[in-house]
Structures are given as C-alpha cells and as structure tokens.
Structure 1
Amino acid sequence: MFRRKLLTLATTTALAVGAAVGLAAQPASAATPIPDHVFSPYYEMWLGDDISAVSQQAGADHITLAFAQTERQGSCTLYWNGDTSLPIAPSSFGAQVDAIQARGGNVIPSLGGWTADDATEDGQLTELADSCTDVNAIAAQIQKLITTYDVERIDFDIEADSINSSAGVDRRNKALKIVQDWAKANGRTFEVQYTLPTTTQGLAASGKNLLRNAVTNGVEVSVVNVMTFDYWEGDRANMAQDTVTATTGLVSFLKTIYPSKTDAQLWNMVGITEMIGVSDWGVGETFSLANADSVLAFARQKGVAYLSFWALHRDTGGCAGAQTTQDDCSGLAQQKFEFSKKFAPFTSGATDPTDPTDPTDPTDPTDPTDPTCTAAPWSASQVYVAGTTASFEGHTWKAKWWTLGEKPGAATWGPWADLGAC
C-alpha cells in the first residue's frame, strides 16, 4: 500500500544485524485466534493516535498494523515505519496491542508496503528480505515480532520492486519456512498472509511467481490478500465488479498450485483490500459506500478469509470532493468510520443484518407483503443486487444482497429469499 516517505525518520550509519542460527523456544500464544473470516483494516502507524482507542471507536476488533521495515537497505533489524525510535519491543505500542487483545481482538503486523518495496525515490529497499541477505536473521526478526506482540498472523505486503526481486522472494519464503517450523515445534500458530497487487483479472506474473516460490519452499500460505485498487488500467466504472473479477482470477490461479483444495477452501484463502474513496489513480477509481455493500455481500457469499481497506485513518468525510488521495480522509461525503461499520459484521460471530431468520428482515420469505411472481428468469451470468427479483424453477426469488452465479435455493442461508410459487 502507498504511503509518503516520512521526513522525520531517523537516518543512521549503524548496521544492526541479528545473525541468528536458530530460533529460541517460546511459550504458546495466549491471544485470541484470528477468526476464520475477519475484517481487519490497515492502520497507518506513522499518523500517531492510540491504536486501541481508534479501533474501538471504529468498531474494528482486529487491526492490520502498517508497516514494519528496516531503517535502511543493508540492515537486518525491523522498526515500525523504519524509525529507529520505534523498535519491535513492548515499549513500541505494546500496551495498545494488549488492550485490543484484552477485548478479544488482535493485531496483524504488516511488513513491507510501497515505501519499503519501492526504490524509485531514494534508491533504498527497506523491506526486510530485500534489505537483509541473511535468511536466519530474517527469520529471527519475524519470530521477534510474533513473540513481542503475541500474534498469530503476519501480513507481507510485497509490491513495486520487491515483488520483482527473485532473490528477495526466495529469501523471504525460506525464512518463513524456518519460522513456521519453529512455531509448530513450540505449539504456536503462525499464519502467513501475502498482500499482493492485482489486475482486474487476477494476479500478474510476478505475484504468481512469488506464490509458486512459496510452495516450492514449503511455506503454508493462509491468505492471499489482493489489493483491489490502483489497477492503472484507466478509469473504473464499477470497483465492486472489478473486485469480483480480480478475486475470481486469483482463485483460478490458486487451483493450479493447490490442486487438492476444494473451491470453498480456495475462496477461504482469499483476502480483499479496498482503497476506500479516491485511490492513488484519482477520482476515476473511487470506491463508494455502495461498492462496500456489494463487496461485503460478495465476500460473505464466497466465504473469503480476510476483508480490509486502506486505511482506518481515511475512514472519514473530512475532505469530501478531494480529487486526489489523502492520508486522513476518503474524499467522499461520509460519516466517520462509516466503511468500518459496514464491514465490521464480516468478522466471524458478528451479527448478520440479513439473517433470514430475523423477523425484522425485509426479505423474510414469510412476509405477506412480498410481491407476486412477475420476474424475469434467473441467469447465472447476471449480477443481482439487493431487492432484485428473478424466477427460478416455478418460484419467484428476491436477492437479499449482491449475488452472481448462485442458484436460488441452493443454500439454506444463501442470498435468495423464496417469495412463493409462480
């Protein structure tokens, strides 16, 4: 994900290298596991504020922390934002993370990001596996992140120059295999989440090569999270529909490297990260509140693992009408944390506002005011939004939320409400 270089980052000539030859034993995690389906927006660590307080205000129990990186190329030491005053230590955000975990939530630290992965501005690659060439030292830094904050999943945001660095890709995956073996030996859970750029039709060759290398190195990838924005393919008419085609293309590729997995298992490896409001492309690529409703429904229908957006500080209408992307507002006319509150019910165990057993559900099939059968035949290739009707096998059906390709009546809690026989 994009962020501007911080002018206040410390520069240093000292090189801190952790030359680990093995990973120390550690007690098993006591934190609450990440749910099977989780909403976890990105949090811009460099903007300040209390992580726990902001997450509570937004109604987001899980937060993805962006970003940990080295202070300069050649270093093997992680810092938050690459700032040497913010080491990976309890003194850096530890109490705030503890507060989130005490409420039953958790954080997902993220390594990399556009600034670390791109050398265009200053010639520096500060993503850990590009900066450091010692696989054991890379593994030791990842282990330190896990044990310092008692986390079970780490996100690796790999893009720009980093995704095209075959040496860095291979070092990272070799280090991840070491850490996963350490975690298993110590009774810990360590889930790898890769966040990758995408086209509107799925991963580019560089993303596919990264995942093939992960398989070759024996890394168990839990989530492949695609950034469904900044396509650089021109203005986009429907960002929600682009999310559908991008993730469908991703699953088609995942089938080729995980042939034993079912479609449901593959969809449960998928992550979706939107850029709310105006993207880096500009107003021609704007993710709206209506798009959020559609993507939430799609994510539920497919059973994806992870739903997110860039970024929590941007979930406010403080710059409505802005023509370019901003760090602290979306560019839309919206309520504060409106996107967060739309996506929050995605997390496993949250109340489903479209539960068909809810007596207040306006699409309840027993509602006597439902319309009579006058709808066009259902089509597998047509997108249906909430409230749209279709006829299928002698009954009229009403879409409870956005759906594509799912037959009416195919699932007990599916997207269709039966309005009765035609």
Structure 2
Amino acid sequence: MKLTRISRALLAIGLTTGAASAFALEAWNGQEGGDTMQVIFDGSVYQNAWWVAAANCPKDAAADEANNPWRYLRTATSAEIAEYGNPTSCDINGGGTPVVHETFSTDKAYKEGDIVMYQDNSYKANGAVPAYSFIPAEGNPWQLYTPVDTWIASKTYNKGDVVKVNGQSYEALFYTIGDDPSNPANQNPDNNNGRPWKPLGATVEYTPEQLAAAPQFSAATLYPAGQLVQFRGQPYVAQAKVQHASPTDANPWAVYIDWAGTKERVGTPKNPWPAHVYAPYVDFSLNSIPDLAKLAKEQNVNHFTMAFVVAKSGDQCLPTWGTAYNLQDYTQYSKIKALREAGGDIMVSIGGANNAPLAAACKNDADLTQLYHDIVDNLNLNVLDFDIEGTWVADHESIQRRNRAVKAVQAKWKEEGRKVGIWYTLPILPTGLTAEGLYVLEDARDAGVDLAGINVMTMDYGNSVCQSDNTEGQNIHGTCATSAIDNMSAQLKKIWPAKSDKEINAMMGTTPMIGYNDVQGEVFYQSDAKLVMEDAVKRDLGMIGIWSMARDQPGIAKQVSPEHSGMTEQQAPMYAYSKIFAPFTHVDDEINPALAALKGFEVVISNGVPMTSLSLDRPAHEARNMNYTIELNGKYWAKSQYNRCYEWGTKKTDTVNDIVTCSWGIPLKVGDTLHLWNYSNGVQTPLETITVSEKTLEGKTSVAPIIGEQLKGFALALQEGKPVLQMTVTQEAHKASDVNFSIELNGKYIGKSQNGSIDHGKKTINTETNMVTGTWTNQLKAGDKIKLYRFSNSVYTPITETLLTSDMLKNGGSLINQ
C-alpha cells in the first residue's frame, strides 16, 4: 500500500485519527496496520508514522524514511526488553541469519558428520554416503517390483495399495472406495489436500521372461534409473541412477536442525505445569498472535497450548510451525519467553487437522523419537500434546509409529531423570470417542505409552442434537460437551480398569470451539461455557482448552473466523470465555476454600413449598469478600454474604457444627436449572448445579389454599371508564408483617399489601366483610404483563400472571386463574 506525502504527514502528526497519549508496547514481529504502534527492536523503541507493512523492518527505517514508516523514539529499558523481548533480525520467519551449508550433489561422496542443504532443508550424514547412493529425505533408490492391478470401482483400497488406470499408476494414501484415481479431483500429488490417490507416473510392467533374465545386483555397478535387477530372489527397479546402495540399506541422511540459541529464545518456565489447567490453544502461525504475557497479567490466563507443529510436507521429516516457520528460530518465541518470565508456561501441540503430522512424514522410528526429544529439550517443555484428527486418526501406520516413538522417548527421558506429561487430543461425539479414537488409545496402551491425559475436541459434532444456533441459554452445545466427557470416562475405564474414577477424571480434558463452530448450526455460548466449567470443577478434570485464544473476542455476527468467535459484543465481549475458564487452573494439593466451606445445596419440600437450601460454614457466610450466589435459569436470584441471606431468605444457625443454612422459597418447575456460584476476590467459580425434575418437586402443593384463605380477589376494574388494578385480601393477611402480596407491571414492582399498608395505592376497608381492597391507577395498555405473587416467611409463591388485551381493558374482569 502506497501513501501520498500529504497523507503521511497527516498520519505522522495524528490529524487523520485521534492520537492517544500512550500505546501498547510489544516486540517487533512484522506488525501490519494503520493504528499507531510502539515496538522494540534491537534495544530501541520505534513508533510508526503511517500505515506499516510486515516487510517494513525498524532496522532499515533511518536509511529509507520516505518509504519506511518506523521512527526511532528512545532506548528500550531493560525491564521492557525482559518483558516483551528484543528481536534483532528482520527475518520474521526466523530469529537470525541461517547458516548456509553445501548444496547436496548426487555425484559426490560424503563422510559421516557432513551437513548438506537439499530442497531448502539441512541434513546430516550419520554414516558414509557413497556417490549415487542415497538422496536426503528420500527412500531407498531401489523399489520392489510387483505387478500392478487395474483399479476396480467396487473394490476397497487401503493405504499403500497401488493400481493402474490407462497406463498410469496411483498409490492409495488411505482407505478409499469408488474414487477414480485418474480423476484429478481425487488426486493428492503432494499428500496435503485430503484426496486419496497419489499419481506415480507411467506404469512399468515386465514379462516373466524379462524378470527371469534380470541381472543379479552388484553394489559396485552404477545402474541407470529404471534398471531391473534380482536381489535375494526378488526383482527390484532402480528409481534413480544408483551405486553402492542395496535394496535393504537404510538412508544415512537425517534431518539436521541447528538448535543453537533456541533455549534462550523461548526462556525457561519458572513453575511446574499444573495438574488441572486452563490452557487455551494459540494458532502460532497466525499473523495476529496475542500478547501472552499481557494475558497472564491482565486476564489471569497463564498457560497456553501452541498449535501446530507439523511436517514441512508429507515427505519431509522436518518439524515446522504450520509448514511456514522454522521451529528452532521463530521470532514469535519472544512472546513465550515473556510469558515464562511472568510465571506462565506453554504446551506444544504436534499435529492438527491440516498438513502432515511428523509421525506420517518421518518413516524411521529413530528419527521420529529424536525429533520428539529435541522439541521438548530445546523448547524447554514440561508437557507435550499430540493432536490426532482428520484422516490421520484412521491412519494406523502413523498411529503405531507415533506410539512406538513416544514410548521410546519416554524411556530416554526416564534415563535422564526428566518428567514430561504426554497428552493425546482426539475428536469426539456426545456418545464418546469414535472407534478410530479408541484404537489410538488402545494401541498406545499396548505399546506401553504413559499418557498424562486425553483431551477431546468438544466441537463440530455434526450431530443434529447439537444444533444450537439461536438457543442461547439452553445449554445445548454445553450438554453435548459434558455428555461426551461422561461417556468417555466409561470408555477410558475399560482401557485402564485399574485407575480410579478420580484418576480417570484427572486424565480427561475438554476443548470446545467457542462461538460459531465450523459445522453450520453449532454454537457454543457463554452459558455453555459455564456448564462445561461446572462439570470440569465437579469432576476435577485435567484440562480445559478453547479453540482458540485469538477467537475469544467479538466480531461479525455468525461468521466463522480464526480471529473472532462470531458472537456480538453483547453476547460475548473481549475474553468473555477466558473469564469463565481461567479460575479452573490449580494443582492437586490446593483446596478450594469456597468448595471446602460449602456443606450443602439442595431443594427440599417444606409444607408443600419447594425450598432451596444453602448450608455453609459460618465464617464463609459472614465473610465480606466472599459470596455464594444462586442463579435460576441463568439469572440472579439470591445470595449469602456478610452474615445475610439476601432476597428474603431465612437463616438458621447450627451452633454445634458452626454451620449456617439459608433457605429461599424459589418458584420452581420441571426443567428449571439452579446454578450456585462463588465470587471471591474478583474470581468467579462454579460450584453446583441442580436440574429440577418431577422427583425434585414431589409433595409440592398448589396455590389454591392461598386464594380464598388470604387473597379474596385480584381483578381489572373500571373507574370512570378507566381500567385500574384492584386486590382484595383479609384484614389478617393485610396486617401481617411476614406476609405480603406484591404486584409487578412488565417486570417492575408497583405496589403491595403488607403490615397494614397499601404501598403506592389507595386503601378501602370493608368492615362488614373484614376485607381490605387496594386500588392502583397505573396507566395500562394492551400487551402489558401483570404479575401477582406472595412472600410469606421467605417463601416466594407466584399467584398469577396475565397479559392484558384490549377486550380486558374495555370490560374488566378477574385476573386470577386457579
């Protein structure tokens, strides 16, 4: 984007937009945009004078002021550098100038330890490499010859099967049936688009006579590409010019990563990874990566799951961030270092739905084991996640290789005295793990893998019962998530029968996709988050995540985006979901004081009325900075705090056990939900949930005895042609201090009868009938909602609720429906 000199001048002095007095400071990492920003680069603070592009490096600003908008402000303080980082390279894909090694050549011999470049990657020789033998990142130059069958539409093909169509060969990359390999729409030449067939080129076929006449293999012979030989009674075909490499030799080239300086770039965690943690996913290859240290300080989110480490390509055993950025020198590591300096930490996730996992690209177990070890060692990790989804959750070859490598690296860590938690993240349905997911875990168990936990993606179910658009507050998606966890717990118990329920719960994690999901019609609201949080607290799960941290902000309504939730500001403001989940993080030996002080939360029927009862240790009831709040269907109803049972609750004290019980006559019906929350020092924690059933309300009586014994009438009357509200009660009920009949108009209180007074109305006494009538002359119109209820001894009883019509306003009449 180019700007005129006038525009640049206006932007520089802040005339095109309101200039702020201070701007957020962060390390330079290729920021782009027109907002005023301040960044640290090579020990200095810079500010942009106009719109800045990612390619504009502060280092070049002084020499090119006409085109580079960065302007030097001052020297960065040591505290700022420690907090935000101090990049010194203009390469946003890496942290420094890479070492350039010799380019690999097939006609040259290499000795053990030599390092070469091939297809932009570095490789190290683990043994002598003769000329024309092995090429880095490629398989054995000899391929066993087998006749190729013609593709059949009705036949099932699995990974590795080869077929021919019209003289061309194709290899199946995974299970497929009916997909014509010759159709370009079904082809996957680079193993990265989810299609089932890889083109192999023209089919090579030999007659029995040609096979019998093939020469015996000789290591000293230089064979041309396409040469047929016999080796140990089997026919092999040379895939390239080859010498000094037999069909059974292993490729001595291994991926070489120069990890020098990586440990310093990422910093060292100050604290162990919590046993129970909120660790939202961060898409670490996005252009807009959140400031992790700032989130820790301002939002109490201290742990993150960085996603995703994948192979450079389906055929390259090289770890990268999203195929785009080097793992050893990524500039964004300054954000991880700042987080760790602030006391937080990260978990790295290997895999994901897109691109190839390392377990698929790395064909050698030893190479894969070493990569896992190097990633953990050089990124200073205490925990590692493997995200296994998409087609890869059904790919037995990579599943088995991964499990073997994880088992091997765990043995290596044990020798080193290092403890690293291993998590597997899998897709799930409300009914539990899929058959493919169960296979992953059963194979891991059989391979001897020690899993710290299984995190599941409680999202994108594709199930009609989880359709939740426009159902905010009904907790449909949240219920799907808690059902998934409940069903998985039974599945895990079968895989690990020796583990207790507590241990199984601690092994489970749940990661919803907040807001609008990829599957149309599936939405995860704040109310769903509260339900998931309550379930996680009750079970004491090992982990809660979200996809993703960058999405925890409002945006375009109902849009699925990597950078917002698709919710409006009113539905879910900035970091709304993290505010719900952040209090979850704790370690096993921590005791939640709010939960410890809770002695009971239940609904009991007393004299035919449902009473909601909350019992607490007396100090918790009397505390000023701690309150226990009850919500009815997501809305505040009552609370215990500072020695009071707010909203007309009754209090009883058990002096022997030092327990206080608050009781409320909350009107309940089947299907209602009572949520109990604790608010302490600004932290909100869900404690208990009661879903009202028919059994809960057994013994409840109707309001009929009230109407007749105390309330004699409630009607719409006409005075001088205008409608007024009239309520008639007995003198005894009217004079009682512990009984009141209250009226609401459109949800707002307008008057009551209590303690000998008619509040906000006119009182008339009929001495012959011993009745009192209150009259309220509020302006009424069609569509108004009139509600009458009674409070008696802290018991709330709704009497009637009526929606006024034009006919009612014209003719009047009783408003009581018994």
- The 3 A distance-change label for structure 1 pair 134 and 19 is farther
Find the structure with the greater CA-based Rg: 2
> Which structure would you say has the larger RCO, counting Cα contacts within 8 Å and 6 or more residues apart?
1
Amino acid at match of 1:313: A
| Aligned partner of 1:402 among 642, 667, 689 | 689
Unaligned runs of 5+ in 1: 1-8, 21-25, 117-125, 389-398, 409-419
Specify the alignment match of 1:255 in structure 2. Answer: 493
- The 3 A distance-change label for structure 1 pair 353 and 39 is farther
Measure the CA separation in 1 of the matches of 2:543 and 2:428: 16
| Aligned partner of 1:236 among 439, 443, 467 | 467
Measure the CA separation in 2 of the matches of 1:328 and 1:352: 34
| Aligned partner of 1:71 among 302, 308, 312 | 312
Specify the alignment match of 1:272 in structure 2. Answer: 510
SS of residue paired to 2:586:
coil
Aligned-pair CA distance for 1:91? 4.4
| Aligned partner of 2:321 among 80, 93, 96 | 80
Aligned-pair CA distance for 1:354? 5.5
Specify the alignment match of 1:391 in structure 2. Answer: none
SS of residue paired to 2:347:
strand
Aligned pairs for 1:257-336 within 5 A: 257-282=495-520, 284-319=521-556, 321-322=557-558, 324-333=559-568, 334-336=572-574
Cα distance per residue 1:69-120 (max 9 Å; x no partner): 011112111011112xx2221544333222212222110101111112xxxx
Amino acid at match of 1:104: G
Amino acid at match of 2:314: Q
SS of residue paired to 2:432:
coil
Cα distance per residue 1:264-311 (max 9 Å; x no partner): 1100000000000000012x2100011111111110000100001000
Aligned-pair CA distance for 1:59? 3.2
- The 3 A distance-change label for structure 1 pair 153 and 132 is same
Aligned-pair CA distance for 1:404? 7.2
For the 8 Å contact 2:426–2:456, the answer to whether it is kept is yes
Are 1:361 and 2:628 an aligned pair? yes
Specify the alignment match of 2:279 in structure 1. Answer: 40
Amino acid at match of 1:80: W
Measure the CA separation in 2 of the matches of 1:216 and 1:171: 13
For the 8 Å contact 1:240–1:295, the answer to whether it is kept is yes
SS of residue paired to 2:254:
coil
- The 3 A distance-change label for structure 1 pair 127 and 216 is same
- The 3 A distance-change label for structure 1 pair 376 and 206 is farther
Measure the CA separation in 1 of the matches of 2:254 and 2:640: 60
SS of residue paired to 1:67:
strand
Amino acid at match of 1:278: Y
Specify the alignment match of 1:208 in structure 2. Answer: 438
Amino acid at match of 2:674: V
Measure the CA separation in 1 of the matches of 2:280 and 2:352: 14
Are 1:175 and 2:175 an aligned pair? no
For the 8 Å contact 2:290–2:549, the answer to whether it is kept is no
Measure the CA separation in 2 of the matches of 1:92 and 1:185: 32
Aligned-pair CA distance for 1:18? 3.2
Are 1:155 and 2:155 an aligned pair? no
Specify the alignment match of 2:107 in structure 1. Answer: none
Measure the CA separation in 1 of the matches of 2:530 and 2:421: 28
Measure the CA separation in 1 of the matches of 2:422 and 2:285: 24
| Aligned partner of 1:338 among 554, 576, 580 | 576
Aligned pairs for 1:14-53 within 5 A: 18=254, 31-48=270-287, 49=289, 51-53=291-293
For the 8 Å contact 1:69–1:111, the answer to whether it is kept is yes
| Aligned partner of 2:335 among 76, 91, 96 | 96
Aligned-pair CA distance for 1:146? 0.6
Specify the alignment match of 1:225 in structure 2. Answer: 455
Aligned-pair CA distance for 1:142? 1.1
- The 3 A distance-change label for structure 1 pair 79 and 182 is same
Specify the alignment match of 2:106 in structure 1. Answer: none
Amino acid at match of 1:386: H
TM-score, normalising length from structure 1?
0.78
Specify the alignment match of 1:119 in structure 2. Answer: none
Amino acid at match of 1:247: I
Identity %: 25
Measure the CA separation in 2 of the matches of 1:254 and 1:75: 34
For the 8 Å contact 1:297–1:401, the answer to whether it is kept is yes
Aligned-pair CA distance for 1:251? 0.6
TM-score, normalising length from structure 2?
0.42
**Count of matched residue pairs:** 367
SS of residue paired to 1:213:
helix
Cα distance per residue 1:306-333 (max 9 Å; x no partner): 00100011111122x22x4111110112
Measure the CA separation in 1 of the matches of 2:490 and 2:449: 20
| Aligned partner of 2:365 among 125, 135, 140 | 135
Measure the CA separation in 1 of the matches of 2:575 and 2:593: 18
Cα distance per residue 1:6-59 (max 9 Å; x no partner): xxx9x9575556379xxxxx9xx8642110110000001121335534643543
- The 3 A distance-change label for structure 1 pair 127 and 404 is farther
Measure the CA separation in 1 of the matches of 2:645 and 2:374: 59
For the 8 Å contact 1:225–1:271, the answer to whether it is kept is yes
Measure the CA separation in 2 of the matches of 1:354 and 1:332: 32
Unaligned runs of 5+ in 2: 1-92, 94-117, 122-135, 138-252, 257-262, 469-475, 599-619, 630-638, 651-662, 678-685, 697-793, 795-818
Measure the CA separation in 1 of the matches of 2:120 and 2:329: 25
Aligned pairs for 1:380-395 within 5 A: 384-386=673-675
SS of residue paired to 1:198:
strand
Specify the alignment match of 1:412 in structure 2. Answer: none
Amino acid at match of 1:236: Q
For the 8 Å contact 1:300–1:346, the answer to whether it is kept is yes
Measure the CA separation in 2 of the matches of 1:115 and 1:347: 29
For the 8 Å contact 1:72–1:131, the answer to whether it is kept is yes
SS of residue paired to 2:529:
helix
Aligned-pair CA distance for 1:178? 1.1
Measure the CA separation in 2 of the matches of 1:139 and 1:278: 38
Cα distance per residue 1:359-414 (max 9 Å; x no partner): 4333449643435465799x9xx8843159xxxxxxxxxx9543579xx9xxxxxx
Measure the CA separation in 2 of the matches of 1:262 and 1:375: 38
Cα distance per residue 1:204-251 (max 9 Å; x no partner): 000000000000010011110010111111253401111111001111
For the 8 Å contact 1:90–1:149, the answer to whether it is kept is no
- The 3 A distance-change label for structure 1 pair 383 and 205 is farther
Measure the CA separation in 1 of the matches of 2:423 and 2:495: 16
For the 8 Å contact 1:345–1:352, the answer to whether it is kept is no
For the 8 Å contact 2:269–2:340, the answer to whether it is kept is no
For the 8 Å contact 1:80–1:87, the answer to whether it is kept is yes
SS of residue paired to 1:268:
helix
For the 8 Å contact 1:280–1:325, the answer to whether it is kept is yes
Aligned-pair CA distance for 1:198? 0.3
CA-based RMSD of the aligned residues comes to 3.3
- The 3 A distance-change label for structure 1 pair 341 and 142 is same
Cα distance per residue 1:134-183 (max 9 Å; x no partner): 11111111111111111111111101111101111000000001111111
| Higher share of residues assigned strand | 2
Measure the CA separation in 2 of the matches of 1:196 and 1:404: 30
SS of residue paired to 1:46:
coil
